[in-house]
Each structure stands twice: as C-alpha cells, then as structure tokens.
Amino acid sequence: MTDVDELDIKPSSTKIITINSLISFRLRESFYISLEYYDDEIIAWHYDTESYASGKIEFEAIEGLKNELEDLFKYLINTPDEELCPRIQRWKKLLLYALVESKFEHF
C-alpha cells in the first residue's frame, strides 16, 4: 500500500507577484497571487478567495486566474448575501471593495 506522503507533490519553486487588474476591471489595490511551478505546469493562486488556474506558462496561469476571479465576482454580485455562507460573503466584500471600475466604461 502506498503511503499518503508519497502522493504529496510539491512545487519545485514558488513566487509571489501582484496583479493590478483583472480582464475587464481595475483593482483599487493590488492582489497578491502565488505562482507554483511544477514539472509541466504553473498554478496561479489567489488564496483569499481560494481561486486558482493553471497553464504551461506564467501568462496562461495568470490570465486564467484573472478570468476565474471575474467569473466569481459576476456570480457573487448576482447572488443575495443570505444565500452565501459567511466565508463566501467575505469573498464578496473583498471583491466589491477591490474592483474599482470596468476598464471599458469610458469607451
């Protein structure tokens, strides 16, 4: 039988970076995200909302995470607070505060 510890795959390295916008929204303050490097993929994490995305290169992982965060925001903004658990309500407050405006409002 295989020991559970043997199945635990760890990244070869990790880097913390900031993002200043999502795909269509500017951020009031930068989000810290973590990039975890594995043999054949990179995973971008935003731990505050438990969101992540992966890609073969950094750009793919980061853009995927930005899309995930936008999708989460769109879902949360359309969901009444009473339908969300307290943890998810905190995510909603964080995103409502963080997202300043659409990048495309002025066009």
CATH assignment of the domain containing 64: 3.30.160
User: CB–CB of 37/13 below 8 Å?
Assistant: yes
Domain count, the chain: 1
* Chain segment 70-96, per-residue pLDDT in tens: 999 889 989 999 999 999 999 999 888
- Residue 55 domain boundaries: 4-102
In this structure, is residue 107 part of a structural domain?
no
Is 49 within a domain?
A: yes
What is the number of alpha carbons within 13 Å of residue 39 lying toward its C-beta? 2
In a domain, 26, yes or no: yes
pLDDT tens-digit series, residues 19-56: 999 988 888 889 999 999 998 999 999 999 999 999 99
